[in-house]
Structure 1
Amino acid sequence: MRKTLVCIVGPTAIGKTAVGIELAQGFGTVVLSADSRQFYREMNIGTAKPSQEELTVVPHYFIDSLSIADDYSAGDFERDALIVLEAMFAWHDVVILVGGSGLFVDAVCRGLDDLPGPMPGVRERLNELHKDQGLEYMQDMLQRIDPIYYSEVDIHNPQRVIRALEVYESTGKPFSHFRQQKRAQRDFDILKIGLEMDRQLLYERINSRVDAMMEAGLLEEVKTLLPYRHRPPLLTVGYAELFDYLDGTYTLERAVDKIKQNTRRYAKRQFTWFRKDTSTHWFNPDDVSNIIEWIDKRRL
């Protein structure tokens, strides 16, 4: 029987971690995390990592594998994940990959497109523009030149927005153009499972999880990360808003409301990203028995 990578994808707070663990237990295998923020040891509460108990139940890879000071790209993850998969497939017929970071999931499943490097000076100019004009100005630029990628990307992540802009300014072609190239060949089968539920219920789960994170000490975690606040992983939802609070931009109540609002928007964009792949089969996160049955049928 061929080796199979089962990818569990979907929006934040929908329950991917729990489903991934149940599937790993069912198939007697391991989990690879494709959540790009869970790589970092210093980012715990705001990234909703698996608990120590969950990590004990099923071996996980790429959790706490980096320091916040480390540079790490989707290309790095593609390389490292393929090495781990080769080792894991020597022992397991099935491996579970779990994550909501679409670019990192794509890196493993289809390979990264051969994106051109920036022309000299372009990145520096865009970084200065971001510093002077703010993220919203950069978002508006991206929406005008590449509405396709704008509808999919996490527009609250300045690194992703600036990268798309520099590709356009260096080539004259939108970032989305380069994401339509031929996929890499893998020596294992890939089954993609998307998790979905009623949108209002998901939003309620998001709001409740943000409240739980605050009660668990997210603000204190953010304070410990102040020296690293300009590192790309921290320019993201849940951290950026609390840095703004510490700067006096928002009240704490307003910052928490912004986290909830931006997380809901991010979830909507995650749905957009994952739904463009028509090979993904969608389930409710409570349907684990049906998911296992579906996987078994596809592997016959």
Structure 2
Amino acid sequence: MPVNGKNKTLIVIAGPTAIGKTALAIELARHFSTEIISADSRQFFQEISIGTAKPDPDELAAAKHHFIDSHSITTFFSTGDFEKQALEILAGIFEQNDLAIMVGGSGLYLDAVTKGLDELPDTDMQIREELNTLFQTEGLEPIKQRLEAADPEYFAKVDQFNPQRMIRGLEFFLSTGKKVSGFLTNSKKERPFNIVKIGLNLERALLYDRINHRVDLMLAAGLLDEVKKVEQYKDLNALKTVGYAELFDYLDGKLSYTEAVDKIKQNTRRFAKRQLTWFRRDTEIRWFEPQSPATEVLRYLEQTLRRD
């Protein structure tokens, strides 16, 4: 089913956390007999599963997934690495299928594949070392404050629990005097396949209820025990993320258990808000509610895939 003269299509499913992206991706993958690329920057890591809401064994068996448990938290894996490897995997999928599915809530990773990453000017490594030292001695807060003042556009959409990306944004500004947001996705790279984007969203109160319920389910499934198993690695960037950072603070005596749980829910809601801010800028996304029958999404896809 060619689109715009091409005969291969990547279907992208985007949206905030806890919205139901995985279930829809599996249903579409089964319908089209194809494979799924996960673009969730935390589901890559083998050591953490409960707090990242990875597909369960039954879901993984229902459709072939890529980038689930593909890397260790001790391995550096950049957005550029993901772009390169995901395009290689897509090329392999397209040898056997006309369609592939990519699903996730990490906007930068989705954009890396669909739009490509911009080449950024070199930065001052001395500044990077100074910022890393500042982070080690005073934590992330001073870096967050300086980045927000220097580049509010980048600050608004970056994962504010990821020190590496926060430091990178401030490092770029201090090295060049320019905002990194001014260099992101300025020129969209041509891809040898079509791209159709599906977005899932809900009225905010309903979404927040889903998020709170998911956190409760994660805790009941043993999230705290999972956090204890990786506590020795808590200084790694991979674990400075919602659900883990708060429970590390609980284990360190900085928060009570109730305070940590409340913080997880609050920070997850804030993360979902930032995800939606990112995705709403993309005019190519066709939005659906998760309650919409999959047949409605399939009808839209069938119509889109038939266009000349």
TM-score range, shorter chain: over 0.9
Shift of 1:246: 1.0
Larger deviation, residues 150-159 vs 256-265: 150-159
> Which of 40, 48, 54 matches 1:43?
48
Partner Cα distance (1:231, 1:28) in 2 = 38
1:147-158 correspondence runs (5 A): 147-158=152-163
Q: What is the match of residue 105 of structure 1?
A: 110
Aligned length: 300
Q: How does 1:279-294 map to 2 (within 5 A)?
A: 279-287=284-292, 288-294=294-300
Please name the residue that 1:56 is paired with. 61
Tell me by how many angstroms 1:296 deviates.
1.1
**Structure 1 residue 139, shift from structure 2 partner:** 1.4
C-alpha separation in 2, matches of 1:205 and 1:44: 19
Structure 2 residues without counterparts, runs of 5 or longer: none
Moved over 4 A (4+): none
The separation in 2 between residues aligned to 1:86 and 1:58, in whole angstroms, is 18
2:125 counterpart SS class: coil
1:10 and 2:5 aligned: no
Instruction: Specify which of 226, 230, 247 is matched with residue 252 of structure 2.
Output: 247
Residue segments in structure 1 that go unaligned for 5+ positions in a row: none
2:127 aligned residue (122, 126, 148): 122
**CA 179–209 in structure 1, closer or farther in 2 if over 3 Å, else same:** same
Q: TM-score, normalised by structure 1?
A: 0.98
Q: CA RMSD in A?
A: 1.0
For the 8 Å contact 2:21–2:103, the answer to whether it is kept is: yes
Q: Supply the AA of the counterpart residue of 2:265.
A: K
What is the TM-score of this pair, normalised by structure 2?
0.95
Deviation string, structure 1 residues 121-153 (Cα, Å, up to 9, x no partner): 111111122233332222111111111112211
Q: Is residue 90 from structure 1 mapped to residue 95 from structure 2 by the alignment? A: yes
| Distance in 1, Cα, partners of 2:236 & 2:125 | 22
Q: 1:233 — aligned with what?
A: 238
Q: Structure 2 counterpart of 1:44, which letter?
A: S
In structure 1, distance between residues paired with 2:123 and 2:28: 42
Structure 1 residue 285, shift from structure 2 partner: 1.6
Distance 1:284 1:218 in 2: 28
1:120, distance to aligned residue in structure 2 (A): 2.5
% identical equivalent positions = 53
Q: CA deviation at 1:158?
A: 1.5
Partner SS state of residue 16, structure 2: coil
